[in-house]
Amino acid sequence: MKRDQLKYIIPLVIPLIVLLLPLSAFPFEGITIIQQRVIAIFLLAALCWVFEPIPIYATSVVIIVLELLMLSNKGIYWFRADEGQAHFGELLQYNEIMATFASPIIMLFLGGFFLAMAATKYRLDVNLARVLLRPFGSDPKYVMLGLMLITGVFSMFMSNTATTAMMLSILTPVIAVFGPKDPGRVAFALCIPVAANIGGIGTPIGTPPNAIALKYLVGDSYISFGEWMVFGVPFVVVMMALAWFLINGMYRADQQKIELSIKGKFLKTPKAIMVYITFSATIILWLMGSSHGMNSYTVALIPVAVFSLTGIINKEDLKRISWDVLWLVSGGIALGLALDKTGLAKLVVHSIPFDAFSPYLVLFGAAFLCLIMANFMSHTATANLLMPIMAALGMSMTSLAPLGGEITLILVVTFAASLGMSLPISTPPNALAHATGNVQTSQMARVGIILGVVGVLLSFVLVWLLHAVGHIG
């Protein structure tokens, strides 16, 4: 059988086998039919996200539809025939499953997309890059530092992929200045995706895994936009410095001087000024959540309303929004909903004696598992699969409490998801950089593995310290 055929057959056959197994075949005591169906849907999602027989966003839609058909109180009748029996379990409310398409997390990302689209449309991003790069002179290592810092800042509020594409386009004529064997070509092409991946960690809207984590940071574990940045930004700064030293040390440019020329000027039209004001106001409101009473989800809809009302974002622009990302996140939220509401996540966690293990072992084991998975599959898909289990584990393990409990576990795993950047397939920014032809897979892997491992260890130390001093948790 050909490999291409297997990628279609395996994701279909294994979940079907799980559905046909008797409940006694599962190692979990007291498992219900509904929970068995959730396991099948979970396996289908995991295998489809790994093998990608269909687009990863399509997998999310399939998850939601299957939950509606097989798990909801308005599903197909014969899937509800045994309702009321002890071994059947409790059905989910259909409107809760459908509501994942309009979760507050989705609205937060939608607001971020509107801000990024308006900034690009009115060249705010390019002009900021032009102004911010001036102080870094013409020494290649300092120009690279400036590029990384600017890429990191943009990635906090824009799509990592869009930021990388923009910055690489600015860099194209600069990279051409280096000789064909000058390590500077590698350094400059590699520093952009590394900075984009790291920078996305800085804010809740920087990358989808952050938004997925927020779904589970509720109640006593709630973290606001500003609180996220309290630990996210220092982490980004330290990791960016480490990345700069590492790349500069491994691929030091032979060229002694380069000139980076970015043409353009700030637009002064009424719509451009409105973009500047709205962009600034939204970020300020996000950072000052405790003073005005609005949460980050509510604030996120302000730019959506302003840009739609003023025509800054029109119907043609709406077609270019990354709807696939929103669908992907919503599918993950739906999967988490099923794991939580059916009690399967708690059942799995309680069936394994995690409290018998060292909390450090659990933390590092979960983080490195996430890091490995994120290198070979979508960061968002990785977060979608692991986060519900981590949330249940964090709540059940009493030994994690001195280390920050659920918050520490979720945040460390979330950071690990964004640090998976060792291969061209790990992230779209990596793929874009590799496509330039200036970076080989082995060069990317050397840098990515080092930063991934160091980043996971650093994230644990930082989150634990902030918990110890009372900033979070």
Residue closest to 393 by CA, chosen among 339, 462, 470, 342: 339
- ∠ CA 345-350-355, nearest 5°, is 125
Q: Is the pLDDT of residue 236 over 80?
A: yes
Q: Is the pLDDT of residue 274 over 90?
A: yes
Predicted confidence band of residue 247 (pLDDT cuts 50, 70, 90): very high
Residue 92 DSSP code: B
Judged by DSSP in three states, 80 sits in coil
From the CA atom positions of the chain, what is the Rg in Å? Answer: 23
Residue closest to 75 by CA, chosen among 103, 33, 46: 33
Residue 377 confidence (pLDDT) = 77
Predicted confidence band of residue 354 (pLDDT cuts 50, 70, 90): confident
CA distance 171 to 173: 6
Tens digit of each residue's pLDDT (9 = 90 or more) over 170-215:
777 777 778 888 888 889 889 999 999 999 999 998 888 998 898 8
CA distance 178 to 439: 14
Tens digit of each residue's pLDDT (9 = 90 or more) over 278-295:
989 988 888 776 677 788
Percent above pLDDT 90 for the chain: 29
Residue 353 confidence (pLDDT) = 76
Residue 392 confidence (pLDDT) = 84
102-121 burial code (b ≥16 CB/10 A, e <16): ebbbbbbbbbbbbbbbbbbb
Tens digit of each residue's pLDDT (9 = 90 or more) over 389-433:
888 888 877 777 766 677 888 889 999 999 999 888 788 888 888
Tens digit of each residue's pLDDT (9 = 90 or more) over 3-35:
677 888 888 999 999 999 998 898 888 899 999
Predicted confidence band of residue 270 (pLDDT cuts 50, 70, 90): very high
Q: What does the pLDDT average to over 305-320? A: 93
Tens digit of each residue's pLDDT (9 = 90 or more) over 42-100:
899 888 887 888 888 899 899 999 999 999 999 988 888 777 787 888 899 999 999 99
CA distance 144 to 255: 13
Sign of CA dihedral 203, 205, 210, 216: positive
Which two three-digit tokens encode residue 396? 């059940």
Predicted confidence band of residue 466 (pLDDT cuts 50, 70, 90): low
Q: Is the pLDDT of residue 463 over 80?
A: no
Residue 99 confidence (pLDDT) = 93
CA distance 249 to 263: 31
Among the ranges 45-49, 253-257, 375-379, 403-407, which has the highest mean pLDDT value?
Answer: 45-49
307-324 burial code (b ≥16 CB/10 A, e <16): beeeebbeeebeeebbee
Residue 308 confidence (pLDDT) = 95
Tens digit of each residue's pLDDT (9 = 90 or more) over 87-142:
888 899 999 999 998 888 888 888 888 988 898 888 887 788 778 777 887 788 88
Residue 40 confidence (pLDDT) = 94
Helix boundaries (H) for 91-139: 94-98, 104-121, 124-133
Which two three-digit tokens encode residue 1? 């059988």
